[in-house]
Chain A
């Protein structure tokens, strides 16, 4: 596959001096921003507790509470974000110059995203889930395929077949996009609820992921491993061996990229 459209400009900027961001009335700090290979940005946010702001720059492991995603465009070397977070960013190696709701220059570290292998070039883009296959065993046996991926529809099917799962807890969890980036980020965006976000590793076809931002649900575990394959141009299959609602399970996503 050809690299995704903004592969050359994909970067991760980790803030040492964290800009503030208001999300649903909650004051947050922007911990990082990633501009991905497929014209998306992923804004990593950490809630500010008790109204206090970090006294010292935190350059260690990110402590994300949530992410905000959207699309970006490029103009004269500047990243222009659209949607929930609107700003213009000029990224240098150790400084991000931001013009937007919060403007200024903020120290941090810029790292270019890399796609070294064929599998990585193929993976680093945005995927739309066409079909989802679920199988659970061990006390309850159920197996089915679904168009798209609606967690509530899947949970209802599993419940109808004897699984102790409450479908109402995953109402609105419909996957709209899944993205893998060259910085090792994995983001699953939903149509009506916040994203699941974390990191992944890909070695050949073998993939392992771990979400640091995830809502409690019975369908997709916080971490799992499996295989990511590309059966045709702009087609991908992600097969995960995981637990679903406490049962041994297999989840397979059949996806396409635009």
Chain B
């Protein structure tokens, strides 16, 4: 076993394996929650399904391939359609391809889990299984599989560089999804931001919190669902494992572990950008977010996260194109 030094290509694959697995889980959770919500809503509301297409940014792609926005089409597009690079199956396939490229680095159990999951989805006949009338068990099974994978990974992975790239990918992906979900739902529910919500809107806000797996802890800490509470909880709360701040702080820690860089300093552009972003989040308030405008604020955060990703990629995955900061032999 080498002392945790990784091939750049391997670091790249681990980072993406992790991002794609997280994307699988997020997509499935979003679909399941939405499907549940639809059962509670009084009539067929297609804009709920439409909003999911905006979360992943695939609305145009969907329109080019499907005539009508309805539950079945959106579920098919987001779950099984390989035409959609963000569908659960496409992400799972990509996660598996990446893990295949690093089979010597991840533990055998991790590979077996990803592979078994892939084989299960690949052979799953959605029409024959009545998936579109009751997708619950399938979505549940996928989520449980991903959680099983996370558990094995957590319990068995050597805490070296591979682990840090893995965590970095996961946390950045999770941060990205949280901001996207908040952004899209904010648009849909805009009118209620400063008012007392209707029963329907409450349902929708609750569903959003469920889709980032955190309704119960929210209620415990913040009480009834409110826009301010949600913004604080999803963006700034340091104890919510899906909040932007939490995710980015953990990503920052993993990124620093890779090079052994102390807090408050940086040794490359990726560390500088992510450190700066975390520092800003540490001192941001809900009032300030509302003053700037939630959408504008989220937009800015996403652009900055993208720049972090680009800097990581240039620093670690393409060592040819930049000047090395470490000695060779």
A binds B: no
Query: Which residue numbers of A lie inside 8 Å of B, CB to CB?
Result: none
Q: Which residues of B contact A (CB under 8 A)?
A: none
